[in-house]
Chains A and B, each alone.
Chain A
Amino acid sequence: MNKAETKNILVYIEVADAAPVKVSLESLAQAKRMADEKGEKVIAAVIGQNIGDAAKEAAAAGADKVIAVDDAAFADFNLDVTADVMMQIIEKEKPEAVFVGGTQDGKDLAPKLGAKCATGCASDVVGMKLDEQGNIDFTCPLYSGTVLEDVVIAEARPQIATLRSGAFKKLEEAGQGEVVAESFTVADDAVKAKITETVKELTESVNLEDAEIIVSGGRGMGSADNFKLVQELADLLGGVVGATRPAIEDGWVPRNHQVGQSGKIVAPKLYIACGISGATQHLSGITGSDYIVAINKDEDAPIFSVANIGIVGNALKVLPVMIEEVKKIQAQ
């Protein structure tokens, strides 16, 4: 796409249960910040079935214009279909940048669009600013976030990026954009991979990204039975249970509780890590937390390097006391 012809930022809005997912609203907010700085507009694309309310929500969350593509044919996400519709929108709108929330499907969609547009894609963006040439300078984590890299997509357009959940704040009452209904058709031969069945195995939904309090357990909890202490404290505090990969691989807790590089990146107000030593893959997922309390037997455990309070001790002994104390505080 010819750089000189492009302007405005297009944001793909992913919809779940008839509402935009949180990272899509965060992406919209960040798009507005960047567009305002350049004197440009934000266009949102909402694709699916019965997405009227989601489109309205996007219009109030930072978009100047929302393209609502409401069609039974697009009811379920299919990478090829969504990419084809997005390409038709991109060709029409000629955006300077395309932001996609870094969900599983978003992380597939962004490079798919990148390849179709013969442009580049910044992944898992945690920060951004405009450079002197007006390009977006994207900050991306490398090596589980122990190193950050700033990248630009200097010449190719659009500049495509997936944004990390929780890295950007969403806007409340950002304004009132217009919603425009548009329809698109996708040719059969554009769809190379078809989803024949969607199965929800994990019925309990776990919203780690939005949680204000997370109590997580790792291998140090020792067994599924001991892990119940983590659950008890989380329930007591009105929080969500998190876990490290070893705790999940040992079957103590379902995999949708995983926090870290290959699980969810979280940013709660309080994160309590129980029996977690703190592998970089886990730490990279929790450093956005406001306050971290860690319980671990090993005083040299890396988790203590990020903890506000580091309790050197046996989580199995510390947790029951904490649970009783929290009950006392709550009774007051």
Chain B
Amino acid sequence: MGSSKNLLLAALMAVLVFYLCSTSEASNFDCCLRYTEHILHPKFIVGFTQQLANEACDINAVIFYTKKRLAVCADPKKNWVRKAVQILSHRVKKM
């Protein structure tokens, strides 16, 4: 009888040890899902923000806001994206 009580407690403990929980409350965030194939010229870009995979969305991306009020998703690993980001940061610095 003692053993079955211990078994019960052990089972309960085992369940609780893995009892890491993080319920996801419905989160309807605007996210980038894919990257654009096109190269955007910085003169059409008015600003940018970064999307980080460790936050609410799950891929890393740079979001360029164009003069036509589009939010275009770009791959932060691509060279042109890095350069555009540098140019835009520089532009902000100069202001």
Do A and B pair up? The answer is no
Report B's interface with A, CB cutoff 8 A: none
Residues on A close to B: CB < 8 A? none
